[in-house]
Structure 1
Amino acid sequence: MKTRSVVAVGSALMFAAVPASAEDLPPPPYISAVAIPDGRIDAAVTQLDGLADALMKKTGIPGMAVAVVKDGKTVYAKGFGIRQVGAPGKVDADTVFQLASLSKAVAGTVVAHEVGARTVSWETPVIQHLPWFRLKDQWVSEHATIADLMSHRSGLPDHGGDILEDIGFDRRAVLERLRLLPLEPFRISYAYTNFGFTAGAEAVAVAAGKDWATLSEDVLYTPLGMTSTSSRFADFDKRANKAVNHVRVNGSFVHKYQREPDAQSPAGGVSSSVNDMARWMAMVLQDGTYDGKPVIDPDALLPAVSAEMISSPSPAVAARPGFYGYGFNVSINPAGRVQLSHSGAFSSGAATAFTMLPSAGVGIMVLTNAWPLGVPEALAAEFTDLVQFGTIERDWLAAYGPRLIAVNRPLGSLVGKERPSNPAPAARLSDYVGTYHSDYYGNLDIVRSGEGLAVRLGPAAKQYALAHWDGDAFTFEPSSENATDGSISLATFSKQGTGIGAITIEYLDENGLGTFARK
Structure 2
Amino acid sequence: MARPGPRIATALLAALLLGGPLLTGCTSSAHSEPEPAPTSPPSTPASAPATAPPRQPPPQLTEDQVNAAVGRIDAYAQNALAKSGVPGLALAVVYKDKVIHAKGLGVRQLGKPEAVDPDTVFQLASVSKPISSTVVAGVVGQQTVKWDDPVTSHDPGFTLADPWVGSHVTIADLFAHRSGLPDHAGDLLEDLGYQRDYILQHLRDHQLAPFRASYAYTNYGLTEAAVAVAKAKGVAWEDLAADLLYKPLGMNSTSSLRSAYDSAANKATPHVRTDSGWQVSATENPDPQAPAGGVSSTVQDLGRWMRLQLGDGTFEGRRIVDPAALNETRLPQSVSSPTTEPAGRTGFYGLGWNVSYDPEGRLRLNHSGAFSLGAATVVTLLPSEQLGIVVLTNGQPSGVPEAVAEEFFDLAQYGHETVDWLGFMTKVVPAAAQSPASPTDYSKPPAGAAAAEPDTAYVGTYGNGYFGPMAVSAEGGGLVMTLGPENLKFPLQHYDGDVFSFRTRGENAAGLSGVTFTVGSDGQASTVVVEQLNHDGLGTFTRG
TM-score by length of 1: 0.92
- When structure 1 is superposed on structure 2, of 326-335 and 418-427 the one drifting more is 418-427
C-alpha separation in 1, matches of 2:366 and 2:225: 20
Alignment-mate amino acid for residue 455 of structure 2: L
Which residue number in structure 2 is paired with residue 13 of structure 1?
none
Q: Which moved more, 1:412-421 or 1:178-187?
A: 412-421
The alignment status of 1:367 with 2:388, answered yes or no, reads no
Shift of 1:399: 2.4
* Aligned positions, number: 490
SS of alignment partner, residue 249 of structure 2: coil
Q: For the Cα contact (< 8 Å) 2:463–2:470, is it kept in 1?
A: yes
Q: Does 1:189 align with 2:214?
A: yes
Separation (CA, whole Å) in 1 of partners of 2:276 and 2:423:
18
Match of 1:488 among 512, 515, 531: 512
CA shift at 1:120, angstroms? 0.5
- Between the aligned partners of 2:278 and 2:194, the Cα distance in structure 1 is 29
Q: CA 1:272/1:127 → structure 2, altered by over 3 Å: closer, same or farther?
A: same
The answer to whether the Cα contact below 8 Å between 2:284 and 2:506 also exists between their aligned partners in 1 is no
Give runs of aligned pairs for residues 253-332 of structure 1, distance below 5 A: 253-332=278-357
Change in 2 beyond 3 A, CA 1:291/1:415: farther
Q: Aligned AA for 2:402?
A: E
Q: Cα gap change, 1:261/1:190 in structure 2, threshold over 3 Å: closer, same or farther? A: same
Name which of 345, 361, 369 aligns with 2:370.
Answer: 345
Whether the aligned pair in 2 keeps the contact of 1:113 and 1:300 (CA below 8 Å) is: yes
- Other structure's SS at 1:516 match: strand
In the alignment, the residues of structure 2 paired with residue 308 and residue 467 of structure 1 have an alpha-carbon distance, to the nearest angstrom, of 46
Query: Separation in 2 of the partners of 1:150 and 1:242?
Result: 29
Of 55, 60, 67, 2:80 maps to 55
RMSD of aligned Cα (Å) = 1.6
Out of 422, 438, 453, the position equivalent to 2:464 is: 438
Q: Give every structure 1 segment of 4 or more consecutive aligned residues whose post-TM-superposition deviation is greater than 3 Å.
A: 28-35
C-alpha spacing 1:371/1:29, structure 2 compared with 1 (3 Å) = farther
Quick check: 1:338–1:359 contact (8 Å CA) kept in 2? yes
Match of 1:429 in 2: 455
Instruction: Tell me, in whole angstroms, the C-alpha distance in 2 between the residues paired with 1:262 and 1:209.
Output: 19
Distance 1:140 1:474 in 2: 38
Residue 456 of structure 1 aligns with an amino acid whose one-letter code is T
What is the SS of the residue equivalent to 2:190? helix
CA distance in structure 2 between the partners assigned to 1:246 and 1:214 by the alignment: 29
Structure 1: distance between partners of 2:329 and 2:62: 29
**Secondary structure of 1:254's match?**
strand
Displacement of 1:410 in angstroms is 4.9
In structure 2, C-alpha distance between the alignment counterparts of 1:415 and 1:63, rounded to whole Å: 37
**Contiguous gaps of at least 5 residues in structure 1:** 1-27
Q: SS of the counterpart of 1:223?
A: helix
Q: 1:371 to 1:30 in 2, by over 3 A?
A: farther
2:266 corresponds in structure 1 to 241
Q: Which amino acid aligns with 1:495?
A: V
Report if the CA contact (8 A) 1:34-1:388 is conserved: no
Correspondence 1:467 to 2:488: no
Q: Tell me if the contact between 1:410 and 1:488 (Cα under 8 Å) persists in the aligned partners.
A: no
Query: Equivalent residue for 1:94?
Result: 119
Sequence identity, in percent?
Answer: 48
SS at match of 1:442: coil
How far apart are residue 260 of structure 1 and its match?
1.0
Instruction: Provide the residue aligned with 1:220 in structure 2.
Output: 245
Gap change, CA 1:429 and 1:224, over 3 Å in 2: same
Is the contact between residue 412 and residue 506 of structure 1 (CA under 8 Å) also seen in structure 2? no
- In 1, Cα distance between the equivalents of 2:424 and 2:314? 35
1:11-26 superposed matches below 5 A: none
The residue identity in structure 2 corresponding to 1:496 is G
After TM superposition, list the pairs within 5 Å mapping 1:115-264 onto structure 2: 115-264=140-289
- Please give the alpha-carbon distance, in whole angstroms, between the structure 2 residues aligned to 1:419 and 1:209: 56
- C-alpha contact 2:136 2:229 (8 A) present in aligned 1: yes
What SS does the aligned partner of 1:115 have?
helix
Partner residue of 1:413? 438
The residue aligned with 1:457 is: 483
Instruction: Measure, in 1, the Cα distance between the counterparts of 2:518 and 2:54.
Output: 60
Higher relative contact order by CA 8 Å / sep ≥ 6: 1 or 2?
2
The superposition leaves residues 459-512 of structure 1 with CA deviations (integer Å, 9 ceiling, x where unpaired) of 12111110111111111001110114xx11110000234221000000101011
Structure 2: runs of 5 or more not aligned: 1-52
Q: Secondary structure at the match of 1:39?
A: helix
How far apart are 1:38 and its partner, in Å?
Answer: 4.4
Residues 223-274 of structure 1: per-residue CA shift (max 9 Å, x gap): 0000000000001100100001100122421112233100100000000000
Structure 1 CA distance for aligned equivalents of residues 350 and 433 of structure 2: 26
Q: Distance in 1 between matches of 2:351 and 2:194?
A: 26
SS of 1:197's equivalent in the other structure is helix
Match in the other structure for 1:15: none
Cα deviation digits, residues 317-353 of structure 1 (max 9, x gap)? 3211111111011101123221111000000000000
Q: Structure 1 stretch 494-503 or stretch 166-175: which is displaced more?
A: 494-503
